[in-house]
Amino acid sequence: MTSDKRAEPIRAVKGTRDLLPPETSSWQKVEDEARSVFHAYNFREVRTPIIERTELFARSVGADTDIVTKEMYTFEDRDHESLTLRPEATASVVRASIEHGLLNEGGAHKLYYMGPMFRRERPQKGRYRQFYQIGAEVLGSDHPAIDAEVLEMLLLFLERVGLRSFTLLLNSVGDSKCRPEYVKALRRALESVKSTMCPDCQRRAETNPLRVLDCKVEADQPIIAKLPSILDHLCPECRQHFDRVLAELKQRGIPYEITPRLVRGLDYYTRTTFEITSGALGAQNALLGGGRYDGLSEMIGGPPAPGIGFSIGEDRLVLAVEEAARGKEASTPGSNDAALAAYVAWLGDAALGPASELARQLRREGLSVEIGYEPTKLKKSMGIASKLGARFAIIIGDGELASGRYQVKDMTAGQQEEVEPARIASYLKNRSQDSAIQHYETVTPDLDP
């Protein structure tokens, strides 16, 4: 028996999304720009697995953080080992560097990555359960100039992708010497006010008072604003490090806003922490976050190895870039999907072979070419070429086969020329030099002061 009833469609999992063209071209553009800028600073790519042992994140991100207590996708594998879909990649990069002996080699290791991360947060615009990060980490140096260089690279990248208005928030969270004293002071201050705070803060006031500063509950904010500042509790070494970072930033002309409550939601941070926020993003305004993590390697069983890095939320970056492009048409970062160079239209069975041979040749020359395989009338073919945005249409029929010269039609200017097949690739390249084919312009607008 047959039934007309269709099966229930299966939809993407809540908080995940399909990225489709043409949007994927904005993603490629920012990824290409990241690779190019990171390469200029001598960073090389690392790709780590998406699943890791749960313990990696419990030890590094911290057992009492929101990420570990509420947001991780953790499951028991068939051999009863607890595994987790990575909620972030810094711990993985450090784990991989330890595992492959990179940290024993001395010198600074500069690594970058891009890929999906998973956190079971409440989905909204700019916040997803599968989201993407572009990140970079420097392992093996605690020099303040490295902190400034990492920020310098970040700002160059944001400038390159066309982002102009954003704010760099900066802080120091001290180190294992001075932070315990600060945490004690925080605990004391929380004693008298914690009962008026949200249940999470009441718990954190006992277990991990620093995390109180991450609280997003509106009613708690005036209380948090009055808590002691970590910047008043830095030891002389951390103070000196922070002052030197600020001096290095000033020297590079990088504007920043010191934000003493910026402790970041992960436990591995020491000294410098930062975030960049963008007004274009609405509620989820943190475009990226990062900082120093000088003790992280030891936390996960490695040798002492100071480190600093950042992760950009790529979903948010693309939103902000598109928003910025809308506001300033002239600086539209442009599509990374090079425009279609040519549509090959063939008429009559005899033309199909030569037409597909021509398409093959042009594609091998790096030109973006489309060809249809269904027999189609000329008028309809031109309609398709125009709909696809092809710069040229190449027409091959009996006449062209007889003369050995194909018709190449400029779809913008409307004129048509006969060109020998072997010359078509160079003809298209020469004629399209000023157009968008294969190229997109890099936009470098001024940074807001």
**Binding region for ligand HAM (CB under 6 A):** 88, 90, 119, 121, 127-128, 131, 133, 135, 137, 265, 286-291, 293, 309-311, 313, 315-316
| DSSP codes, 119-169 | --PPPBTTB-SEEEEEEEEEES---HHHHHHHHHHHHHHHHHTT----EEE
Query: Taking the complex as a whole, how short is the minimal distance between the CB of residue 278 and ligand HAM, in angstroms?
Result: 9
Nearer to ligand HAM among residue 119 and residue 391 (C-beta): 119
In angstroms, the first-to-last Cα distance of the chain is 72
d(CA 381, CA 344): 9
Torsional class of 289: left (φ above 0), alpha (ψ -120 to 50), beta (otherwise): beta
Query: Taking the complex as a whole, how short is the minimal distance between the CB of residue 289 and ligand HAM, in angstroms?
Result: 3
d(CA 143, CA 306): 9
Tokens encoding 148: 């400034």
The closest alpha carbon to 252, from 334, 161, 153, 174, belongs to 153
Q: Which residue is nearest to ligand HAM (CB)?
A: 313
Nearer to ligand HAM among residue 123 and residue 354 (C-beta): 123
Q: Is 335 exposed, middle or buried (0-12, 13-18, 19+ CB in 10 A)?
A: middle
Nearer to ligand HAM among residue 242 and residue 293 (C-beta): 293
| DSSP codes, 175-236 | -TTTHHHHHHHHHHHHHHHGGGS-HHHHHHHHH-GGGGGG---GGGHHHHHTSPPGGGS--H
Nearer to ligand HAM among residue 65 and residue 432 (C-beta): 65
Query: Taking the complex as a whole, how short is the minimal distance between the CB of residue 313 and ligand HAM, in angstroms?
Result: 2
d(CA 138, CA 308): 5
Nearer to ligand HAM among residue 127 and residue 143 (C-beta): 127
**Strands 270-277, 257-258: pairing kind:** unpaired
CB 171 within 8 A of CB 230: yes
The closest alpha carbon to 117, from 36, 229, 256, 15, belongs to 15
Query: Taking the complex as a whole, how short is the minimal distance between the CB of residue 131 and ligand HAM, in angstroms?
Result: 3
Query: Taking the complex as a whole, how short is the minimal distance between the CB of residue 308 and ligand HAM, in angstroms?
Result: 7
Query: Taking the complex as a whole, how short is the minimal distance between the CB of residue 134 and ligand HAM, in angstroms?
Result: 9
Query: Taking the complex as a whole, how short is the minimal distance between the CB of residue 138 and ligand HAM, in angstroms?
Result: 9
Tokens encoding 3: 């039934």
Query: Taking the complex as a whole, how short is the minimal distance between the CB of residue 148 and ligand HAM, in angstroms?
Result: 15
Nearer to ligand HAM among residue 128 and residue 440 (C-beta): 128
- Three-point CA angle 412, 416, 418, nearest 5°: 140
CB 344 within 8 A of CB 396: yes
Q: Is 1 exposed, middle or buried (0-12, 13-18, 19+ CB in 10 A)?
A: exposed
Query: Taking the complex as a whole, how short is the minimal distance between the CB of residue 293 and ligand HAM, in angstroms?
Result: 6
Nearer to ligand HAM among residue 163 and residue 358 (C-beta): 163
The closest alpha carbon to 179, from 95, 273, 302, 96, belongs to 273
Nearer to ligand HAM among residue 88 and residue 147 (C-beta): 88
Nearer to ligand HAM among residue 66 and residue 200 (C-beta): 66
Nearer to ligand HAM among residue 209 and residue 313 (C-beta): 313
CB 248 within 8 A of CB 91: no
Query: Taking the complex as a whole, how short is the minimal distance between the CB of residue 386 and ligand HAM, in angstroms?
Result: 38
Nearer to ligand HAM among residue 62 and residue 421 (C-beta): 62
d(CA 187, CA 254): 35
Element (DSSP H or E) covering residue 109: strand 109-118
Query: Taking the complex as a whole, how short is the minimal distance between the CB of residue 338 and ligand HAM, in angstroms?
Result: 29
